[in-house]
Structure formats: structure tokens, C-alpha cells
């Protein structure tokens, strides 16, 4: 089933950006409707900083830098990225592109990756990021980071899976003669709720849930964050996201748990606690209801080699 965005995807021609990544990603996405004419084409644009739209976009990508260029805090692209992410855009980076997301504050307290050779520099610049340079790609729900210079292919295939499904990933990888990789070739049933629904109060609650998913997030708490009455909050949240708050929170917690099971050595009980479950059997039931697997079986199947 397709889940293609109807807003533009912006590939950012930032200072020093690797042209191969920018044009390669644009070509990669353009191949999808050629392989299957029933697939909805994406509106993918390579844009310089002085040509960026102020209207909301579906996603944006910071490419690798081949010149060692690093962003400064007051660069217009930093403010633009913050604004777009706040409006619901999916934020992505490849290699040194992660420095732009870091400068924008979009990786704070999040897991992320970049090129292994940049690890020391990145940690010094952004010590509050949970950097995992051993991973080729880290999907943290509304922020995705990829590793080395050529990891734009991994990001492209991963986004293809998110928007078109696993079968298209296989077809595209075969056509390009690239290895999709075990982790990127898994079932792409990731939790990707709508964020560009236009309800600012609901988006505030979604952002709060993204950051505080491990705490007690009751309807009264979320309604207060949104500045709404409880009844109005539940009604507007369900209308905007297509999911009631309790079901949304469960799906979000399971998505966070999936990432932890893939990337960390923490026990299942610890992961359950970290994502907000104080009862491990209840966590296991919720996890299986969404993924079809127990947490242990999921870890055995999808754990990355260096976890």
C-alpha cells in the first residue's frame, strides 16, 4: 500500500553539498513510477538556500559535504529546518549532513548516526546526541540519519520503503544492482502518523509525545499541553491523526521499542520501562499486537550485527 506524501521533498543544496547524493536521490525516486506506473510520483526538488519554500514540505534531506563545510548557528538553512520540522516535515541527513540537523537542535537527546570518521568531531559539537556511528541508518520516527558518503542509497531505499512498501524496495534495489541490506529490507510497517494536518494544538501534543513517550501521558496531561479541554483534545487529535490518543501512544512506544531492540543491548524489561510500560507482559502484548512478533523474536530477527 502506498503512503506517498503529497507535498514536496526538498534535497538541500547546502554549502559544500555532495552533488552525487542530491542528483542520485532525485534519480532514485524518479525510477519508482518507471518501474511501476501505478505508483504516485514524488515531487522531489534540489534547491539552493535562496530558493526554499516557506510553505510546508513533506521531507527534507541534508546531503554529505565533500568540502568539510560545517553550518553556523545563524545560517538561514538552520532556521528553515527548524520551522519545517515544527510544521511536520520529516528531517533527514546523510553523513556530515547530520551537522545541520544537530545545529538545528533536531537531534537533541535522540539516537543518530553519521560517518564513523566524524564521530569525535560530532560528539564534541553535539554531546547531547545519542550518536551510534556503527549503524548505517537510524530511523527515529520523524528524524532519519544515514552514515557514510554513499549512504544516500540506504536512505533512498529506506524512504522508498516508507512511502511505497517493501516490494518496491526489492524491485528498485534489483534494478539499481545495489544490496538493500537486511535491516532496510525488513517489513516497513513503521509508525508514521500525519503531522501536516494543520492543527497546531494537536501538533504540540504530538511533539510532546515524541519527547516524553516514556512518561505517564494521560489525556489530561496532553490536553493541557495542547491548550484544549479534554473532550476537544480527544476529538481534534483523533480527527487530525486518524488515531485516538491512547492507540497513538501505544504505536509510538512500540516504534521506539523496535529501534531499541534493533540497536541496543538493553534487556527487554529495561526497554519496556524506557518506553513507558511498567508491566513487561503488558508491553509484550502491545508489541505483538502491532508487530506480530514477541519482543524477543523481533530482536532475534532484526538486531543489527554491531548491537
Summarised one tens digit per residue, pLDDT across range 101-134 is 999 999 999 999 999 889 999 999 999 999 988 7
Q: Is 10 left (phi over 0), alpha (psi -120 to 50) or beta?
A: beta
> Is 182 inside a domain boundary?
no
User: Does residue 2 lie within any of the structural domains?
Assistant: no
Same domain, 168 and 231: no
pLDDT score at 199: 95
The stretch 263-291 carries a mean pLDDT of: 93
Write down the pLDDT at residue 307: 43
HEC string for 199-249: CHHHHHHHHHHHHHCCCCCCHHHHHHHHCCCHHHHHHHHHHHHCCCHHHHH
Of 42-46, 96-100, 173-177, the range with the lowest mean pLDDT is 173-177
Report if residue 75 sits inside a domain.
yes
Indicate whether 263 belongs to any domain: yes
- Same domain? For 86 and 209 the reply is no
The Cα–Cα gap between 114 and 75 comes to: 21
Among 142, 176, 210, residue at a domain's last position: 176
Question: Three cell numbers at 20?
Answer: 552525487
Question: Do residues 35 and 170 both lie within one domain?
Answer: yes
Closest by CA to 208, choosing from 243, 232, 237, 242, is: 237
Q: Mean pLDDT throughout 157-183?
A: 84
CB 298 within 8 A of CB 290: no
**Confidence (pLDDT) at 254:** 93
Q: Is 193 inside a domain boundary? A: no
**Residue 181, pLDDT above cutoff 70:** no
Q: Based on the fold, state whether residues 39 and 155 are members of the same structural domain.
A: yes
Spatial separation of the C-alpha atoms in residues 75 and 81, rounded to whole Å: 10
Q: Are residues 125 and 229 in the same domain?
A: no
> Based on the domain organization, do 156 and 214 belong to the same domain?
no
d(CA 95, CA 117): 10
251 and 151 co-located in one domain: no
Instruction: Tell me the CATH number at 109.
Output: 3.40.50.880
Report how far residue 169's alpha carbon sits from residue 202's, in angstroms, rounded to the nearest whole number: 32
List the one residue out of 196, 204, 213 whose CA is nearest residue 259.
Answer: 213
Residue range 206-246, pLDDT digits in tens? 999 999 999 999 999 999 999 999 999 999 999 999 899 99
Q: How many structural domains are present in the chain?
A: 2
Does the residue 52 lie in any domain? yes
Is 117:95 a contact under the CB 8 Å cutoff?
no
211 vs 2: CA distance, rounded Å: 28
Burial of 116 (0-12, 13-18, 19+ CB in 10 A): exposed
pLDDT value at position 186?
A: 35
- Given a cut of 50, whether residue 183 has pLDDT beyond it is no
Residue 296: give its domain's CATH number.
1.10.10.60
Distance CA 116, CA 170 (A): 27
In a domain, 224, yes or no: yes
Residue 306 clears pLDDT 80, i.e. is over it:
no
Query: Is 266 a residue whose pLDDT tops 50?
Result: yes
Tell me what the pLDDT averaged over the chain comes to. 91
pLDDT tens per residue across span 185-197: 233 356 778 888 9
Instruction: Please check whether residues 133 and 209 belong to one and the same domain.
Output: no
186 located within any domain: no
Residue 292 pLDDT grade (very low, low, confident, very high; cuts 50, 70, 90)? confident
pLDDT beyond 50 at 184: no
Which residue segment(s) compose the domain that 231 sits in?
200-302
Amino acid at each position: 500500500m502506498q503512503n506517498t506524501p503529497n507535498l514536496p521533498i526538498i534535497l538541500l543544496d547546502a554549502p559544500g553539498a555532495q552533488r552525487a547524493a542530491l542528483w542520485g536521490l532525485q534519480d532514485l525516486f524518479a525510477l519508482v513510477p518507471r518501474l511501476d506506473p501505478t505508483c504516485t510520483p514524488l515531487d522531489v526538488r534540489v534547491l539552493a538556500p535562496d530558493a526554499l519554500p516557506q510553505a510546508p514540505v513533506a521531507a527534507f534531506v541534508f546531503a554529505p559535504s565533500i568540502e568539510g563545510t560545517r553550518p553556523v548557528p545563524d545560517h538561514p538553512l538552520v532556521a528553515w529546518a527548524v520551522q519545517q520540522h515544527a510544521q511536520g516535515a520529516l528531517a533527514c541527513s546523510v553523513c556530515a549532513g547530520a551537522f545541520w540537523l544537530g545545529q538545528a537542535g533536531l537531534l537533541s537527546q535522540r539516537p543518530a548516526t553519521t560517518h564513523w570518521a566524524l564521530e569525535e568531531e560530532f560528539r564534541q559539537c553535539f554531546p547531547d546526541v545519542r550518536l551510534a556511528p556503527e549503524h548505517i541508518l537510524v530511523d527515529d520516527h520523524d528524524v532519519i540519519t544515514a552514515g557514510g558518503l554513499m549512504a544516500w542509497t540506504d536512505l533512498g531505499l529506506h524512504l522508498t520503503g516508507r512511502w511505497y512498501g517493501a516490494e518496491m524496495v526489492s524491485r528498485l534495489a534489483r534494478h539499481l544492482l545495489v544490496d538493500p541490506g537486511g535491516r532496510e529490507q525488513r517489513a516497513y510497517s513503521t509508525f508514521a502518523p500525519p503531522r501536516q494536518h494543520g492543527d497546531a494544538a494537536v501538533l504540540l501534543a504530538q511533539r510532546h509525545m515524541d519527547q516524553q513517550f516514556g512518561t505517564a501521558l494521560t489525556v489530561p496531561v496532553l490536553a493541557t499541553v495542547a491548550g484544549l479541554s479534554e473532550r476537544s483534545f480527544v476529538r481534534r487529535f483523533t480527527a487530525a491523526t486518524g488515531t485516538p490518543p491512547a492507540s497513538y501512544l501505544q504505536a509510538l512506544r512500540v516504534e521506539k521499542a523496535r529501534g531499541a531492540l534493533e540497536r541496543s543491548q538493553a534487556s527487554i524489561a529495561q526497554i519496556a520501562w524506557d518506553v513507558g510500560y511498567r508491566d513487561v507482559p503488558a508491553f509484550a502484548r502491545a508489541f505483538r499486537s502491532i508487530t506480530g512478533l514477541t519482543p524477543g523474536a523481533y530482536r532475534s530477527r532484526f538486531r543489527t550485527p554491531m548491537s
